[in-house]
Structure 1
Amino acid sequence: MEEKLLVGVEKATFQSQATADSRDENLTFPKDDIQVKAVFSVSELSDYLGVSTDCIYTMVRENQIPFVRIRRRILFYRDSINSWIHTPPKKTK
């Protein structure tokens, strides 16, 4: 199938053209309802940061990372985590 460069083409136009061009091929399009998660669980944050869940629990226990506890669940807001990542560490003497 020939690749085409899309510049300023509306999504509906692209999808209808792609469907017409590929009636015999099985193509999948991204779903419209995919959204970026605003809140992470411990396991999701460990994947996001590339560290173990034990490391996340240690940082929570020592208050080194911003978190919210809802009953027994520990949750992390994406915006808070991104701000925490980009904030330089405090110097201790």
Structure 2
Amino acid sequence: MKRQTLNVHEAADFIGVSSWLIYDMVRRKEIPAIRVRTRIFFRVETLEKWMEAKEAEAVEATAL
């Protein structure tokens, strides 16, 4: 069975940003994350949907 979650470093690689930016986005609640005590995880499916929504927002903003 394939793992369905990513840690902070894997999520950063997946999105193409730094780990520090991921930590900052989680702190500001700008990105959907799962906290288990001190650990932070991201579901791949949720990140993909989040990126699609951000892309749609960007397209809509440029269309105005």
TM-score bracket for the superposition, by shorter chain length: 0.7 to 0.9
- Greater helix share, 1 or 2? 2
User: 2:8 aligned with 1:42, yes or no?
Assistant: yes
Name the Cα RMSD after superposition. 1.8
Q: CA deviation at 1:89?
A: 3.3
Superposed structure 1 runs of 4+ greater than 4 Å apart: none
Aligned to 1:73: 39
Ranked by relative contact order (alpha carbons within 8 Å, sequence separation 6 or more), the top structure is 2
TM-score (norm 2): 0.79
Could you list the runs of 5+ residues in structure 2 that have no partner in the other structure? none
- Greater strand share, 1 or 2? 2
Instruction: Count the aligned residue pairs.
Output: 57
TM-score (norm 1): 0.55
Identity %: 33
